[in-house]
Structure 1
Amino acid sequence: MRKRTSSLTAEHDSVPPAAPEDSDPAVKRCPPQGKAGHGAPQGTDPEKRMAKSFKRLGLAGKVKRILMWILLVYFCIPVLVKLCPSIQAKLVFLNFVRLPYFIDLKRPSDHGLNHTVNYYLEPESGFKIGVWHTVPAQMWAEAQGKDRDWYDGALLSPHPVILYLHGNAGTRGGDHRVQLYKVLSSFGYHVVTFDYRGWGDSDGSPSEGGMTADSLFMYHRLKRAVANKPLYVWGHSLGTGVATNLVRRLSDTGSPPDALVLESPFTNIREEARSHPFSMVYRYLPGFDWFFLDAISANDIRFASDENVNHISCPVLILHAEDDSVVPFHLGRKLYASAARSKSLSGQKVQFIPFQASLGYKHKFIYRSPELPHILSDFFGAVHPNTQ
Structure 2
Amino acid sequence: MARHPSQWAVPLAVSLGIPVSLYVTFLLLGAFPFFQKHFLYAHKFNTLFWHDIDRPEYWGFARNQVTPFSLDTVDGETIYAWHILPLATYLKHEEKLQAAPAGFSRDITQTESFNILRHDPDARLIVSFHGNAGHIAQAIRPANFHTLTDTSHYHVLSIDYRGFGKSTGSPSEAGLIHDGVAAVDWAMHVARVPASRIVIMGQSLGTAVTSGVAEHFAMQGVEFAGVLLVAGFSNLPNLLSSYTAAGFIPVLSPLRSFPPVLRFFQGFVVDKWQSADRLAHLVSLTRARLRLTLIHAKNDLEIPYYQSDALFRSAANATIGQDLDDKQFSAWKKQNTVNRDDGTFVAIAKSDPNVVIREELVPYGGHNDVMLSSTVALAVMRSFEPDTDATSP
Q: 1:236 Cα deviation (Å)? A: 0.8
Corresponding residue for residue 264 of structure 1? 231
| Conserved? CA contact 2:79–2:168, under 8 Å | yes
Q: Which amino acid aligns with 1:120?
A: S
Number of the residue aligned with 1:153 = 115
Deviation (angstroms), 1:364: 1.4
SS in 1 for 2:385: helix
Deviation at 1:288, TM superposition (A): 3.6
Cα displacement (A) at 1:58: 7.8
Distance change >3 Å, CA 63–CA 374, structure 1 → 2: closer
Q: 2:301 aligns with which of 325, 334, 343?
A: 325
Q: Distance in 1 between matches of 2:255 and 2:160?
A: 31
Match of 1:79 in 2: 28
Matched, 1:226 2:176: no
Post-superposition shift, 1:257? 2.0
Letter in 2 for 1:363: H
How far 1:266 moved relative to its partner?
0.9
1:168 to 108, 116, 132: 132
Superposed displacement of residue 101, structure 1: 6.2
324 and 152 in structure 1: CA distance in 2 versus 1, 3 angstrom threshold: same
Give the Å deviation of 1:145.
Answer: 4.3
Query: In 1, Cα distance between the equivalents of 2:314 and 2:263?
Result: 26
Distance 1:371 1:266 in 2: 19
- Secondary structure of the structure 1 residue equivalent to 2:73: strand
Candidates 288, 292, 299, aligned match of 2:265: 292
Structure 1 CA distance for aligned equivalents of residues 388 and 222 of structure 2: 15
Residue 338 of structure 1: aligned partner: 314
Separation in 2, partners of 1:294, 1:334: 20
Equivalent residue number for residue 55 of structure 2: 107
Aligned partners of 2:192 and 2:388: how far apart in 1? 15
What secondary structure does 1:184 align onto?
A: helix
1:381 to 379, 385, 391: 385
Unaligned runs of 5+ in 2: 102-107, 245-249, 322-349
Q: Secondary structure at the match of 1:102?
A: coil
SS of aligned partner of 2:123: coil
Call closer, same or farther: CA 1:90–1:287 in 2, change over 3 Å.
farther
Distance 1:349 1:309 in 2: 13
Distance 1:72 1:310, change over 3 A: closer
The one-letter amino acid of 2:382's match is D
Whichever residue aligns with residue 293 of structure 1, its letter is: Q
Q: Does the C-alpha gap of structure 1 residues 80 and 290 become closer, same or farther in structure 2, counting only changes over 3 Å?
A: farther
**1:137/1:105 Cα in 2 relative to 1: closer, same or farther (>3 Å)?**
same
Asked if the contact 1:118/1:133 (under 8 Å) is kept, the reply is: yes
Unaligned 5+ segments in structure 1 are 1-48
Q: Is residue 350 of structure 1 aligned with residue 327 of structure 2?
A: no
Bigger shift: residues 188-197 or 368-377: 368-377
Question: Which whole-Å deviations, capped at 9, do the CAs of 1:184-214 have from their partners, x for residues lacking one?
Answer: 1122210000101000111110101110001
* Aligned counterpart in structure 1 of residue 79 of structure 2, from 129, 140, 146: 129
Query: Equivalent residue of 1:250, what SS?
Result: helix
Alignment correspondent of 1:189:
154
Stretch deviating more after TM superposition (99-108 or 248-257): 99-108
Deviations 1:9-60 (A, max 9, x none): xxxxxxxxxxxxxxxxxxxxxxxxxxxxxxxxxxxxxxxx9xx989x98886
Aligned residues: 327
Cα shift at 1:275: 1.3
User: Quick check: 2:382–2:388 contact (8 Å CA) kept in 1?
Assistant: no
| TM-score, normalised with respect to structure 2 | 0.75
Distance 1:192 1:232 in 2: 10
Amino acid at match of 2:131: G
Q: Which amino acid aligns with 1:97?
A: F
Identity, % of aligned pairs?
22
74 and 182 in structure 1: CA distance in 2 versus 1, 3 angstrom threshold: closer
For 1:318 and 1:108, locate their aligned partners in 2 and report how far apart those are by CA, in whole Å.
29
> In 2 relative to 1, CA 58–124 (structure 1 residues): closer, same or farther, beyond 3 Å?
same
Superposition RMSD on alpha carbons, in Å? 2.8
**Which secondary structure does the structure 2 equivalent of 1:218 belong to?**
helix
Which of 268-277 and 118-127 deviates more?
A: 118-127
Counterpart Cα distance in 1 of 2:316 and 2:176? 27
TM value normalised by structure 1 = 0.76
